[in-house]
Structure formats: structure tokens, C-alpha cells
Amino acid sequence: MTDLKNHYLIFLVINYLLNISYLTRGTEFSACENMSVPISLNVKNCEKQPCSFFRGQIAEMAMDFEVDHDIMTLTPNVLAHIPGSTVPYPIPQSNACLGLINGECPLDNGEEVTYILKLPVLESFPKIKVLIEFSLKDEDKKTIVCFKLAAQVVDE
């Protein structure tokens, strides 16, 4: 039984490392006004802004953050600021707890966790520059962490 537990633990560690193996350096980001910022942000294939988001692909990012109170649930909120407008950015996963790779909800005050975000970049998106504002909110809709990232939608 102990061997099975050890193999499972090794599997989990390898899976974790493979999931973030593309994250070698931090990505520059901007802070949201008067809100907690991530400890670090890593956007796949992007070290500095603006990041290129390729149409028809998934933009992947990992964010390390610390919670400042006990949290039962997390909900992602993504806004796209485009010239002349701000629109909600469609994301497939509305339960951010499912995107945590080194923790699980409920979260305890002071806990540091990593959240993996996958943003679909649809073929129909126009090729424009966009400011992405990402936040995680708790069950009371209080913002836990927030950042802004300049990006451009491009063809590969």
C-alpha cells in the first residue's frame, strides 16, 4: 500500500511539473488599482507586454497568489478593454477552484496557491490590441487578486 501511495505522489509531482514546465520566467503585468496583485504571473511564451494571443489557440497562464482570509469558493472574472469599449471575456471554467494546481477550496488565510487560467482565443476575434483585466473573487464577490495584461490578438 505504501508503494502505491509513493507512486501516486510521484505521479502528482511529475504531472505538476509538466503542467508548468513552460513557465520559466515571470511575465510583466500591471496592478489593478487598490487591489492585491499576484505573487507572480507566468504567461506561456510571453515575458513582457504586450503578449501575443494567437487566434484559434488557447492562451495559458499560471498565477501564484496568497489569500488574505478564509475562502470557500473562487470565481474568475475577465474583462477585455478594447478601443472604445470594455466587454466580458468568455472563459469556459466559471469555478476557479478547479483551476488550482497546488491547493483546493476551501482556502485558508495565508495560503499560497497557483491558479492555471486557459483563455480561448477564437478565430473570430479581431486582430487588435487589448488590455486584459483578470481577477478572482470569493463567495462574497470580494476581489482576492487582480492584474492587467496588455495583449495583441494575432495570427500565428
Q: How far apart are CA 44 and CA 51, in angstroms?
A: 9
Question: Nearest CA to 71 among 22, 3, 142?
Answer: 142
Q: How far apart are CA 61 and CA 46, in angstroms?
A: 9
For residue 111, is it within any domain? yes
DSSP code for 27: P
Q: Provide the whole-model pTM.
A: 0.79
Q: Are 27 and 41 in contact (CB under 8 A)?
A: yes
For residue 63, is it within any domain? yes
> Residue 5, SS3?
helix
The confidence score (pLDDT) of residue 3 equals: 52
For residue 99, is it within any domain? yes
pLDDT digit of tens for each residue in the chain (156 aa)?
555 444 444 444 444 433 443 344 589 999 999 999 999 999 999 988 999 999 999 999 999 999 999 999 999 999 999 989 999 988 888 999 999 999 999 999 999 999 999 999 999 999 999 999 999 999 999 999 999 999 999 998
Count of domains forming the chain: 1
For residue 110, is it within any domain? yes
Residues recorded for the chain: 156
- The range of the structural domain enclosing residue 49 comes to 26-154
The confidence score (pLDDT) of residue 21 equals: 38
For residue 65, is it within any domain? yes
For residue 2, is it within any domain? no
Residue 139: all three cell numbers together: 463567495
For residue 69, is it within any domain? yes
**What is the 3-class SS of 85-100, one letter each residue?**
EEEECCCCCCCHHHHE
Residue 121: which CATH number? 2.60.40.770
For residue 6, is it within any domain? no
